Structure 1
Amino acid sequence: MMYSDRELSQKLERTEALANAAFVESRAALVPDIGAEWIEVAGAYALFDGPSSPVPQTFGLGLFEAATGETLDTIEAFFRRHNAPVFHEVSPLTDAGLLRLLGDRSYLPCEQTSVMVRKIENEMPPNPKLNRDVTTRVIGPGESELWARTAVAGWATEGEGLAAFMLDLGRICTNARGGFPFLAELNGRAISTGMLYVFNDVAILAGASTVTEGRRRGGQLALLDARLRFAAEQGCRIAMMGASPGSQSQRNAETNGFRVAYTRTKWQLHS
């Protein structure tokens, strides 16, 4: 059994913090002028990857050590130095005093995420629902651009601005430590992408995208199966992912054995 307790939350939040830290390190190596960096304060990771990136925020605040006014002073100064907004992803398993502290400092909730988990079995039975014409693989050297452009193509209907932004993020995440970029191909043509991050015995599934003409062909189901099997080979025992509460992504995850461990709230500083 996996109980939705503080210990599980610490494991999941630390894993997501490590994955984001690896992303920041990748950005710092590839685009040093941005000044990407991360720090640890009272067990929480504060991460900066540019003011327009979704990465600048904290993970694990109040979950490993009680957060104090001094803790928030240090974190807020870090983001202020980078001219970035201040966001905290806060687990409901954290100390209740943190919520009062955030309220007293003019933070407001702005977003919620269903943190979803499932066990990874050592040996998974074959999935009869897989489309055998779809093949999957981890990309090879020199294929970061292919992965990123395939991912962007799946977001094409969301507008050119978002597409350019996703292309940039795709190039960074495919070079991040602990990351394994997966492609699904139909008759030799890339149709879907998926990221897998592995830290200790936890795997994070992210980066799902499918090109318009490749939808409903089983690309994402094949990538889910392939990433879980790969994670098992790496010694992972838990898979996690995030989704908007009640979204189609959450329903798809629940259909494939995931359950909601808890709902996390993002808080933004207003001052």
Structure 2
Amino acid sequence: MTGQPLFCDVELAARIERAEVELITNGSAAAHRRNGTGSGFLEPVMGGVASFAEDDSPLNKVAGLGFGGVPDDGLLDGIERAFARRGAPVQVELAHLADPEIAVRLTERGYRLTSFENVLGFPLSGEHRRRQPEGIEIRTSGDEEFEEWLEAIANGFAHPDTQGVASHEEFPREVIAAAIRDLVSAAGMRRYSAVHEGAVVGAASLRTTDGIAQLTGAATAPSHRRRGVQSALLAARLADAAAGGCDLAVVTTQPGSKSQQNVQRQGFHLLYTRAVLVKQAGMSHSA
């Protein structure tokens, strides 16, 4: 664990948000290829991206906005029309270290604050010790067990934290599974499994870019919780990220959730919060 709190300035937040933009862009582009041309869209937005992957997808959002200038009304008009044509609201995830003028402009246009999410970080240096819970093997997950791994991850999304602030989002299980497949195929994720007596009882993933290790999902079967599986999956990913030259690991959680509590126990620090602002399709604005 690290003793000194990790300080996040605007430059570091911008770097993390660029990694998030890259992740969303790759996953959404994979969904477009799967569904055929014209099924969705990706539009650059002042350093961020407006993404529509497919109906009800968790990749439908505006991400990374706030570090490359303030979008004008014409640009926002175009984005809102693109979502409205698909009957979808516009969801903007805005870091609190972004240009404050953007939040002012969005609220003037009718966006409403619906929730928050926290971004936590862990500085990577030196070697990180792996852990093996008794009777459980933590290993890199191969293609031969992909379906088992996917089932474990999808189960985690289907049974979210009940501790802390509840998520404002719910997604159909089949859409979650499709999004995970797209992210794995296009975003270069490394997969990890926790195996007990030949069965996958825990799963996790890791993506690295620009020295940042994104912890992009983890889940444990209810029957194997409180046995150190999550801590072991986290330790394996941190060890691999450090060995691969990353200097920072990041994870996104719901405020006050069990996931946030678990990673803070392992030495992660709260870096910044994203405000989630939503405008329903067809809503007019006063400019």
- TM-score, normalisation: structure 2: 0.84
Give SS of 2:185's match: coil
* Per-residue Cα deviation, 1:194-221 (whole angstroms, up to 9, x for no partner): 1211112111112211112222222211
Q: CA separation in 2, counterparts of 1:153 and 1:87?
A: 25
d(CA) in 1 for partners of 2:54 and 2:213?
26
56-65 or 9-18, larger mean C-alpha shift: 56-65
How far, CA to CA, are the matches of 1:64 and 1:236 in structure 2? Answer: 24
Residues paired across the two proteins, number: 267
Q: 1:20 aligns with which of 24, 32, 52?
A: 24
Structural mapping, 1:91-106, within 5 Å: 91-106=95-110
Partners of 2:45 and 2:177 lie apart in 1 by 31
Amino acid across the alignment from 2:217 = G
Alignment CA distance shift 1:2-1:221 (3 Å)? closer
Q: For residues 225 and 157 of structure 1, what CA distance do their matches in structure 2 show?
A: 23
CA distance in 1, matches of 2:120, 2:225: 24
1:26-175 equivalences in 2 (<5 Å): 26-32=30-36, 35-125=39-129, 130-154=132-156, 162-175=172-185
What code does the residue aligned with 1:146 have? E
Structure 1 CA distance, aligned partners of 2:45 and 2:155? 38
CA contact (8 A) 1:134 1:218 kept: no
Q: Matches of residues 194-213 of structure 1 in structure 2 within 5 Å?
A: 194-213=204-223
Q: Deviations over 1:33-61 (max 9, x none)?
A: 67244221211111111131121111121
Counterpart of 2:148, as a letter, is L
1-structure distance, mates of 2:23, 2:137: 26
Residues 148 and 167, structure 1, Cα contact 8 Å, conserved in 2? yes
Q: C-alpha displacement at 1:142, in angstroms?
A: 4.3
Distance 2:129 2:35 in 1: 43
Does the 8 Å contact 2:57/2:176 carry over to 1? no
Distance 1:157 1:58 in 2: 25
Cα distance change on mapping 1:16 and 1:137 into 2, 3 Å: same
> Structure 1 residues 133 and 266, CA, compared in 2 at 3 Å: closer, same or farther?
same
Unpaired runs of at least 5, structure 2: 161-170
- What's the Cα RMSD here? 2.2
Aligned equivalents of 1:249 and 1:156: distance in 2? Answer: 15
- Which stretches in structure 1 are left out of the alignment for 5+ residues? none
Checking the alignment, whether the CA contact within 8 Å between 1:117 and 1:238 is kept in structure 2 is: yes
1:136 alignment partner, SS class:
strand
Structure 1 CA distance for aligned equivalents of residues 159 and 242 of structure 2: 34
Partner SS, residue 208 of structure 2: strand
CA–CA distance in 1 between the matches of 2:27 and 2:107? 30
Find the aligned partners of 1:202 and 1:25 in 2 and give their Cα distance.
21
String of CA shifts for 1:161-183, please: whole Å, max 9, x gaps.
Answer: 84444333333333232211221
Contact 1:41 1:74 in 2 (8 A): no
Instruction: Return the structure number with greater relative CO, CA threshold 8 A, min gap 6.
Output: 2
* Counterpart residue identity of residue 201, structure 1: G
Q: Distance in 1 between matches of 2:223 and 2:122?
A: 30
Runs of 4+ more than 6 Å apart: none
Query: Normalising by the residue count of structure 1, what TM-score does the alignment of the two structures yield?
Result: 0.89
Question: 2:38 and 2:234 mapped to 1: Cα distance?
Answer: 33
Deviation string, structure 1 residues 225-252 (Cα, Å, up to 9, x no partner)? 1111111222211111111111111111
Check whether the contact 1:24–1:38 (CA below 8 A) recurs between aligned residues. Answer: yes
